């Protein structure tokens, strides 16, 4: 299948402002891109690109005073299969993990591994068998524990606060699940990208970027989603990191006001025309 992804995001700025964008597709998606990305900004200004510490594509630019609008559009090919389930995947002992994976056992901005949640994790799941079944038990718990509510979204909410408040949006589900996994010595990393309503009922709210996470078991990374808690079709990855702080879609070094935020994720024909079903 083919999936068209893109956005239109606009801000106003009271003065010229430096910005870093993390809004291009992740390099791991390159082999699936069928219509190349068209990242642009109006008014037009030069855009410089680089890869960050986690291998994400970033864009740097300086916008003038007034309104600036950012656009992107691409078509990617997807195999149409749901997320792979890792039943039987073993959990590695910390001493057996690759060096580059150890980072995802540590505390980070929104994931307080070294605090109260460690005791909570072991009290809730300490008797569970290690491996995939433990990850699934964590996802089941988080999925039931948090109530999804856009009106309760808060950019500063940590995993522990999500546990206590029992409400939030997709990033809060992932932060709590990631933290519980790390507390139990399962490497886990945060992901952001596009996830359309493919193979599921259409959600009754505006399209947004989505969050999910990955766990390292059996020598590979598996995709997991504590909010939906079911395998999904058509994830299009934008960025990975320790938590949401590492994958902010826009970082503005100055005052701004958000004016428009429209995300597109839809199944299309090879030429980009809409599917008729």
CATH at residue 111: 3.10.620.30
Q: Is 126 helix (H, G, I), strand (E, B) or coil?
A: coil
Residue 150 predicted with pLDDT over 90? no
How far separated are the first and last CA of the chain, in Å rounded?
13
Q: Retrieve residue 40's tokens.
A: 């642009």
Specify whether 24 is located in the same domain as 8: yes
Alpha-carbon span 63 to 44, nearest angstrom: 9
Calculate mean pLDDT across residues 64-80. 97
Specify whether 121 is located in the same domain as 227: yes
User: DSSP label at 16?
Assistant: -
Specify whether 101 is located in the same domain as 229: yes
Q: Which domain holds residue 205?
A: 94-245
User: DSSP label at 152?
Assistant: G
List, for residues 200-259, the tens digit of each pLDDT value.
Answer: 988 887 889 999 999 999 999 999 999 999 999 999 999 999 999 999 999 999 999 999
Whole-number pLDDT of residue 221: 98
Calculate mean pLDDT across residues 115-139. 95
Number of domains into which the chain is organized: 2
- Tokens 């700025």 found at: 13
- Assess if residue 13 is contained within a domain: yes
List, for residues 83-117, the tens digit of each pLDDT value.
Answer: 999 999 999 999 999 999 999 999 999 999 988 99
pLDDT band at 276 (very low <50, low <70, confident <90, very high): low
Specify whether 54 is located in the same domain as 129: no
Specify whether 219 is located in the same domain as 136: yes
- Assess if residue 85 is contained within a domain: no
Whole-number pLDDT of residue 202: 86
- Assess if residue 230 is contained within a domain: yes
User: Cα dist. 270→2, 36, 71, 267 in Å?
Assistant: 6, 13, 21, 10
Residue 95 and residue 223 in contact, taking contact as beta carbons nearer than 8 Å: no
Q: Which one, of 30, 26, 79, 83, lies nearest residue 214 by Cα?
A: 83
Specify whether 231 is located in the same domain as 168: yes
pLDDT band at 152 (very low <50, low <70, confident <90, very high): confident
Give burial (CB, 10 Å; 0-12/13-18/19+) of 127: exposed
- Assess if residue 275 is contained within a domain: no
């Amino acid at each position: 299948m083919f999936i068209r992804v893109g956005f239109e995001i606009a801000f106003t700025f009271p003065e010229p402002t430096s910005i870093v964008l993390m809004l291009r597709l992740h390099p791991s998606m390159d082999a699936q891109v069928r219509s190349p990305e068209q990242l642009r900004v109006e008014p037009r200004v030069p855009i410089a690109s680089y890869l960050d510490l986690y291998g994400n594509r970033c864009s740097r630019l300086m916008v003038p005073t007034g309104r600036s609008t950012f656009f992107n559009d691409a078509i990617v090919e997807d195999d149409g299969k749901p997320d792979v389930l890792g039943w039987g995947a073993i959990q590695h002992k910390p001493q057996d993990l690759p060096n580059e994976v150890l980072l995802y056992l540590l505390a980070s901005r929104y994931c307080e591994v070294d605090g109260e949640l460690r005791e909570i994790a072991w009290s809730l799941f300490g008797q569970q068998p290690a491996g995939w079944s433990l990850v699934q038990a964590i996802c089941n718990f988080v999925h039931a524990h948090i109530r999804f509510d856009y009106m309760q979204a808060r950019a500063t909410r940590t995993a522990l606060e999500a546990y206590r408040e029992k409400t939030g949006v997709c990033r809060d589900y992932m932060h709590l699940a990631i933290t519980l996994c790390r507390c139990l010595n399962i490497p886990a990393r945060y992901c952001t990208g596009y996830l359309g309503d493919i193979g599921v009922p259409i959600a009754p709210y505006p399209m947004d970027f989505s969050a999910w996470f990955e766990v390292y078991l059996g020598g590979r990374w598996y995709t997991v989603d504590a909010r939906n808690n079911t395998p999904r079709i058509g994830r299009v990855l934008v960025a990975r990191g320790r938590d949401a702080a590492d994958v902010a879609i826009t970082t503005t070094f100055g005052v701004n006001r958000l004016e428009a935020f429209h995300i597109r994720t839809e199944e299309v024909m090879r030429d980009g025309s809409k599917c008729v079903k």
